[in-house]
Amino acid sequence: MTKSSAPGKIILFGEHAVVYGRPALAVPVTQVHADVDVVDASRSGIWINAPDVNLHAELNTLPSDHPIASVIHNFLFISRIASFPNLEINISSTIPVASGLGSGAAVTVALTRALSSHLKYEITDEEVNAFTYEIEKLHHGTPSGIDNTVITYAKPVYFIKRPPSPSRRGDGDEVETFRVGKPFTIVIGDTGISAPTKESVSDVRRSWLKDKDKVTEISFTARRAIEQGHWRMLGELMNENHKLLQEMTVSSPELDKLVSAAYEAGALGAKLSGGGRGGNMIALVELDSAEAVSQSLIEAGARSTIITQVTSCDHPFCMDRKTQHSHQNSFSKQEHQMDFGQRSAVWKQRHHFIFSLE
């Protein structure tokens, strides 16, 4: 049996603006995770069991654009496994769906790594990240790439999306991991309202002509505040970022109510996190007021809360993945020398269902 897990994520600063090349900060949330195990099946076919979404089906009975089926089809395609294996794939996740915690990207990352290990097709973190980004594009339109990046590497990231260039097929984004000077505590409040990120991103696009360089300053200063442990400043920056997100029309009465409740219960700052309109908000708290803030969020209508510590990275999710994926595979030298973009470009010509890379 081969197992793999991937954490959830939250965006601390810069959501939406990140789509337009502004910096954003995101961190993994290890309390919630997607878990996948793959075993050889005694029956023929690729059987998927995902009880959380009531899915028990053979791969070929699912539409090819089904979120889980599309990962498996595309993985088998890029790995060029000669004969279709017989597999049982078990998928479970504690990450709430469509709430801005990266549930889809986490399933893709965990499933890709589990298939890669089980089928002995070596895949680097960079390839997992690029593959997950292509899957995200199939389902979410024009994502920035921050979600797949923070989930793949399971580390705090400072992310700047670079414009696409013909010579760099999506692999030129600026991704830096940053140091967390002193661990800090975040309470995540879930409105319980599922809001497709694709819609809020496309609404923001219509009004994005305004000067939003304030976000650049906020994300830049927030990174320094995190590195140096200036929590009061970080809280103020969260409040400022929330105001900008309100101006972008991606907050909602429910999110604003949770943000105010957190603040009144002693949070140092609070803001919506992710696509907005529903989903989650986050509050920066002193550790000893975390429970009180969490309780206030529930009283103000949050469906659930998560209290999480943000650290540089001491969780097994962050271990060096090269040690997990040391299998050799049996492909030609020429294929080995192709990078992910080249392989996808070649294979795209032959298979119409493969990623739309542009």
Stretch that binds ligand MEV, among 83-91, 119-127, 143-151, 350-358 (CB under 6 A): 143-151
Q: Is 99 in the site for ligand MEV (CB under 6 A)?
A: no
- List the Cα angle 78/81/85 in 5-degree steps: 125
Contact 104, 34 (CB under 8 A): no
Task: Give the dihedral sign, CA 291/297/300/301.
Answer: negative
Q: Is 2 in the site for ligand MEV (CB under 6 A)?
A: no
Residue whose pair of structure tokens reads 């000077």 in the numeric block: 181
Residues 104 and 121: their CA atoms lie apart, in Å, by 22
Residues 6+ apart with CB under 8 A from 206: none
Residues 26 and 151: their CA atoms lie apart, in Å, by 9
Minimal distance in Å, beta carbon 103 to ligand MEV? 11
Q: Note the Cα 199 to chain centre separation in Å.
A: 17
Q: Is 19 in the site for ligand MEV (CB under 6 A)?
A: yes
Stretch that binds ligand MEV, among 11-19, 82-90, 219-227, 232-240 (CB under 6 A): 11-19
Q: Is 143 in the site for ligand MEV (CB under 6 A)?
A: yes
Stretch that binds ligand MEV, among 15-23, 77-85, 124-132, 240-248 (CB under 6 A): 15-23
> According to CB under 6 A, which residues from 266 to 285 bind ligand MEV?
274-275
- The residue within the footprint of ligand MEV, chosen from 146, 248, 262, 265 (CB under 6 A), is 146
Q: Is 170 in the site for ligand MEV (CB under 6 A)?
A: no
- The residue within the footprint of ligand MEV, chosen from 7, 8, 16, 310 (CB under 6 A), is 16
Stretch that binds ligand MEV, among 57-65, 120-128, 140-148, 258-266 (CB under 6 A): 140-148
Q: Is 195 in the site for ligand MEV (CB under 6 A)?
A: no
Indicate the residue among 15 and 134 with the shorter CB distance to ligand MEV. 15
Residues 6+ apart with CB under 8 A from 196: 98, 275
Minimal distance in Å, beta carbon 31 to ligand MEV? 18
Q: Is 241 in the site for ligand MEV (CB under 6 A)?
A: no
CB neighbour class for 39 (10 Å; exposed up to 12, middle 13-18, buried from 19): middle
- The residue within the footprint of ligand MEV, chosen from 2, 8, 15, 296 (CB under 6 A), is 15
Q: Is 147 in the site for ligand MEV (CB under 6 A)?
A: yes
Residue whose pair of structure tokens reads 């700047």 in the numeric block: 160
Query: With contacts defined by CB under 6 A, how many residues of the chain interact with ligand MEV?
Result: 14
Q: 42: which 2 tokens?
A: 């005694």
Indicate the residue among 139 and 325 with the shorter CB distance to ligand MEV. 139
Indicate the residue among 147 and 173 with the shorter CB distance to ligand MEV. 147
Closest CA to 85 of 131, 122, 38: 38
> Mind giving me the DSSP string for 175-201?
EEE---SS-EEEEEEE-S----HHHHH
Residue whose pair of structure tokens reads 């795209």 in the numeric block: 348
Residues 352 and 84: their CA atoms lie apart, in Å, by 19
Q: Is 173 in the site for ligand MEV (CB under 6 A)?
A: no
**Footprint on this chain of ligand MEV (rule: CB under 6 A):** 11, 15-16, 18-19, 100, 143-144, 146-147, 197, 201, 274-275
